[in-house]
Amino acid sequence: MALLHRVRIRWWILAFMFAFAFMSYVQRSTLSVAAERLMPELHLSKVQITLMMWAFTFAYMLAQLPGGIIGQRAGARATYFGVGIVAFIAIVTTPVAPLVLAGFALFVVLVLAQAVLGISQGPVFPVFAGVIEAWFPASRWSLANGLQTAGMNIGAAITPPLIVLLERAYGWQGAMLSLAAPTLLLSIAWVWYGRNRPREHRGVSAQELAELGELAAEESPPLTAERLLRVAANRDVLLLALSYTCMNYLFYLLQNYSFLYLIDERHLKALESGYLAALPPIGAAIGSAFGGELGDRFMLRYGARRGYRLAPLIALPAAGALLLLAAHADSAYSAVAALTLAYLAVEVTEGPYWAATMRVARADSMAATGVLNTGGNLGGVIGIPIVGYFWDNGQWTSAFATGAVFAVIATALWLLVDPDRSAHGNASH
């Protein structure tokens, strides 16, 4: 119990955010892993599976800015509880629908279930930015973002072997249903423990409030239409969002298609592919935590303008080169190693992207990161049909080459970003 009292409440709040990110990526990664079973059992084609993935991503993209707005108005406590309940409904729908539907009607319901799941997860990351802005000193924003991103990547890492093993024991429907209860329990635990701001939590000490300085006393102004437009049209927010679009083309390629690549192109069996497909997101989890720490250290040493861009300028070109290396690797294991390092390099940039956007927007971080993550998931909306086409035609080298091109563009756009230009006209501090 003494340990519980010594740990700052903000780290327990971050633990919940880590868990929400973890569960969200278990939920979204399940389809690509279960696709091998779904296609023959439900008579679905690769094109239909791609459309289901795209429906999730498109709905998820559209929900980013509204999710940030809702979070800023309703608060993180109520918003995350709502996220969990809607996600629970969507998760249960997918395995239950085949019991009562078939053919085209079933396909439509499966697409809608993926879209609802995407909508439910829309607020997860934009609202988290507001939680960090309220609970953490500005010098730790990049690390906190990186740690939550590590949670999502660990979720993505665990999903392939977990779903394959659950499928063997309970079938794909049982595997999916097993994800529903943890989602519901997490939501209930959060609404019991979580609070929107440190002063609202009775466990927060005076010392912890003092560590936050002016942030502890900062009142969030109401999100008016004028404030929203100012943030959404801000030059640096838009540049970051556009760069994030290009970066996330690589992210979605690696997240959705690593498992399928190992089965289709490298001809590995499902269980072996499941274990090997866990390695790239494990690399990503290491990269996101490491990149978050680097973002804070570089920001403190070189200032926000140079500090936040330094890691992306190195990591993004490296990720593109590693994708090309994976495509031309002699063995499946060499390809997995290259994919793992590529994913690590991509995720090194997460903390700097989010911390830079928060620095520009400050109290309107939820709305601003809603814009950022709309751009990020536009990368998936663009990328999934492109990579899905290459998957359907067995052209994996071309798929990976497009990722390298997007990595170069994402890098170039960082050179135009200055996080010290505040969205509200005052210098950030």
- Mean pLDDT, residues 108-122: 94
- 203-239 b/e (C-beta count within 10 Å ≥ 16 → b): ebeeebeebbeebbeeebeebeeebbebbbebebbbb
- Mean pLDDT, residues 164-179: 88
Residue 5 has pLDDT above 70, yes or no: no
How far is residue 296's CA from residue 311's CA, in Å, rounded to a whole number? 11
User: Tens of pLDDT along 73-99?
Assistant: 899 999 999 999 999 999 999 899 999
Residue 143 has pLDDT above 90, yes or no: yes
- Cβ atoms of 151 and 19 within 8 Å: the answer is yes
How far is residue 162's CA from residue 168's CA, in Å, rounded to a whole number? 10
How far is residue 127's CA from residue 116's CA, in Å, rounded to a whole number? 18
Work out the angle at residue 76's Cα, subtended by the Cα atoms of residues 350 and 254, and round it to the nearest 5 degrees: 30
What band does 220 get if pLDDT is binned at 50, 70 and 90? low
- Mean pLDDT, residues 393-414: 94
Share of the chain above pLDDT 70, in %: 93
Ordered DSSP codes for 371-404: HHHHHHHHHHHHHHHHHHHHHHTT-HHHHHHHHH
Residue 303 has pLDDT above 50, yes or no: yes
What band does 306 get if pLDDT is binned at 50, 70 and 90? very high
Residue 215 has a pLDDT of 58
Which segment of 162-166, 222-226, 420-424 scores lowest on mean pLDDT?
420-424
Residue 273 has pLDDT above 70, yes or no: no
- Mean pLDDT, residues 305-322: 96
> Which one of 5-9, 190-194, 264-268, 333-337 scores highest in mean pLDDT?
190-194
Residue 264 has a pLDDT of 76
Which segment of 1-10, 107-116, 157-166 scores lowest on mean pLDDT?
1-10
Residue 122 has pLDDT above 60, yes or no: yes
- Mean pLDDT, residues 155-171: 85
What band does 190 get if pLDDT is binned at 50, 70 and 90? very high
| More confident of the two residues 257 and 78 | 78
User: Tens of pLDDT along 6-54?
Assistant: 678 999 999 999 999 999 988 888 888 888 888 898 998 988 998 998 8
Q: Where are the domains of the chain?
A: 2-414
**Helical spans, DSSP H, in 278-364:** 279-302, 304-327, 332-347, 350-361
What are φ and ψ of residue 415, in 5° steps?
-65, -15
What band does 276 get if pLDDT is binned at 50, 70 and 90? confident
Superfamily (CATH) of domain 2-414:
MFS general substrate transporter like domains (1.20.1250.20)
How far is residue 104's CA from residue 212's CA, in Å, rounded to a whole number? 55
- Mean pLDDT, residues 212-223: 66
- Cβ atoms of 156 and 281 within 8 Å: the answer is yes
How far is residue 61's CA from residue 377's CA, in Å, rounded to a whole number? 5
Residue 429 has a pLDDT of 35
Which segment of 92-106, 168-182, 271-285 scores lowest on mean pLDDT?
271-285
Residue 219 has a pLDDT of 62
Residue 218 has a pLDDT of 57
Residue 165 has a pLDDT of 87
What band does 408 get if pLDDT is binned at 50, 70 and 90? very high
- Cβ atoms of 161 and 30 within 8 Å: the answer is no
Q: What is the mean pLDDT of the chain?
A: 88
